[in-house]
Structure 1
Amino acid sequence: MKPEDILQYCLANLEGTVRTESWGESGIFYNPGGVLKRGVYVLTIKEKDGANDAASRLDRPGVYRVNLGLRKGTYARLFGALPARPPKGGVASVDADFSAPDRLIPHPVYAWMGWAAVLNPSPETFEAMKPLIQESYEYAREKFAKRRRGVPAGI
């Protein structure tokens, strides 16, 4: 699969989402009508290492990582307890090869927040990820509603 295929799937199937490019990533945010400045993350695709995120070795040709935020209960069911937040420049203390392709793993930096990742998912792995993408979308909608309540009317 190509990163663009995944992004297009999200935009076509997750109502109210928008694509944003920032911090060297392509992100899918829930933000119907552009009500919030950025919206709420659903999924990101990262295609290069960053100063504080190089564990996946995205500097290899053609390697990219899909990242999505899960509910803490789903994360725990898949991987066990949430790890502690790593120090700046560090990685999550979990038993995972953060550079292995086509495997659902804890996110190397944001596992402590319930994020998961897959490097270069195959079509079969992407199909298996769809329920998790849907969960991330629904979770983003809930967060959006909470943030929206804090935004003054008309903004």
Structure 2
Amino acid sequence: MNESEISQYIIGTFEGVDVVVASGDSFFFYNPDSNVPPDHRFPFVTLVTSDINDQFSNLNRPTVFRLNIGISKQTFRSLFGELSHPSGRDSAAISGENSSDYDFTALDQIMPHPVYGRMLWVCVLNPSEETFETKVRQLLAEAYDLAVSKHKRRVARR
């Protein structure tokens, strides 16, 4: 799948989603009433197309992009095992400091995000149709549900 197809899937599948495109990257926010101030938004999914913010995935290759998805702790653990403390070796690998545990340049593989893995973000470079259908769709739905839940809690506190 390409970036456009994935973007259209997200916008067409999930209600209340705003997309902000900056420097070729797309940031997907849950904003059902279009009233969340920009400084209070946090994306639940991003599509990144360049190495501007990090160089772990070598996104400067032609047609390579990275889909990043924020998921629950339970799902993250089911995929990658237990998170360790920031000083631990696993945490360093997940944050991209030790890329020997993951090849962050590999296409079509779900893996911890090279920088935001500690924050329970996963990524996949150029997901195939099969990976999208069997894994990514479910992760996107979970990320969306988490964003909706956070939004509802925020509104309830007002």
When the two structures are superposed, what TM-score results if normalisation uses the length of structure 1? 0.86
Unaligned runs of 5+ in 2: none
Q: Is the 8 A contact 1:63 1:120 kept in 2?
A: yes
- 2:126 is equivalent to residue 120 of structure 1: yes
> 2:55 corresponds to which residue?
54
Structure 1 vs Structure 2 CA RMSD: 2.1
Deviation at 1:96, TM superposition (A): 1.1
Deviation at 1:24, TM superposition (A): 4.8
What is the letter of the counterpart of residue 21 of structure 2?
A: E
Following TM superposition, the consecutive aligned residue runs of length 4 or more in structure 1 with deviations greater than 4 angstroms are none
Q: Is the 8 A contact 1:92 1:112 kept in 2?
A: no
In the TM superposition, 1:2-151 aligns within 5 A as 2-22=2-22, 24-38=24-38, 39-51=41-53, 53-83=54-84, 84=86, 91=96, 93=98, 95-128=101-134, 129-150=136-157
Q: Is the 8 A contact 1:69 1:116 kept in 2?
A: yes
**Structure with greater proportional helix content:** 2
What is the letter of the counterpart of residue 116 of structure 1?
A: V
Change (3 A) 1:67 1:8: same
When the two structures are superposed, what TM-score results if normalisation uses the length of structure 2? 0.84
Give the Cα separation in 1 of the matches to 2:98 and 2:70. Answer: 18
Deviation at 1:11, TM superposition (A): 0.5
Question: Structure 1 vs Structure 2: percent identity of aligned residues?
Answer: 38
More deviation in 133-142 or 32-41?
Answer: 32-41
